[in-house]
Amino acid sequence: MLRGVRGATTASSNTEEAIISATEELLSKLIEVNQVNPEYVASVFISATEDIDAVFPAKALRNFPGWKFVPVMCMRELPISDSLQMCIRVMMHVNTTQSQEDVVHVYLGNADVLRPDLGKNLES
């Protein structure tokens, strides 16, 4: 079954280092808690708010062994007034036997306010 695995985080600043670091942390947690094997990932969408433009957050995924051939795409979030700034969101499309209810969605940093009803804040 194909499932969506969601997560979000915030970068501390609009620098390559801060954006890649925040994205790596989020991806690492999503992969770990959902036991994601890149061989079972159909694609990954990564979006960022307008104030993030120093680097493509998707570049962070290439730092993970075995993820070289996983299709990944970056896109811009809609510029909604009063929305969370410096926000990076991830949607992984994963083939898994987990039920929809058992998929763990991860929200780190200031993004923990986005979906408190279903997200898990798993900051180290």
Q: Which residue among the candidates 17, 25, 107, 123 is catalytic per the annotation?
A: 107
Q: Is 76 a catalytic residue?
A: no
Task: Walk across the sheet containing 2-10 and list its strands.
Answer: 72-76, 41-48, 87-95, 2-10, 105-107, 119-120
Q: Which residue among the candidates 74, 76, 101, 123 is catalytic per the annotation?
A: 74
User: How many Å separate Cα 74 from the centre of its chain?
Assistant: 11
Q: Which residue among the candidates 6, 39, 40, 76 is catalytic per the annotation?
A: 6
> What's the start-to-end Cα distance of the chain, in Å?
30
Q: Which residue among the candidates 3, 24, 40, 115 is catalytic per the annotation?
A: 115
Tokens of 104: 């763990």
Q: Which residue among the candidates 40, 76, 89, 123 is catalytic per the annotation?
A: 89
Q: Is 89 a catalytic residue?
A: yes
Q: Which residue among the candidates 16, 32, 62, 123 is catalytic per the annotation?
A: 62
Q: Is 39 a catalytic residue?
A: no
Q: Which residue among the candidates 77, 87, 101, 123 is catalytic per the annotation?
A: 77
Asked if residues 90 and 46 have their Cβ atoms less than 8 Å apart, the reply is yes
Asked if residues 7 and 89 have their Cβ atoms less than 8 Å apart, the reply is yes
Q: Is 62 a catalytic residue?
A: yes
Tokens of 69: 């051939």
Catalytic residue list: 6, 62, 74, 77, 89, 107, 115
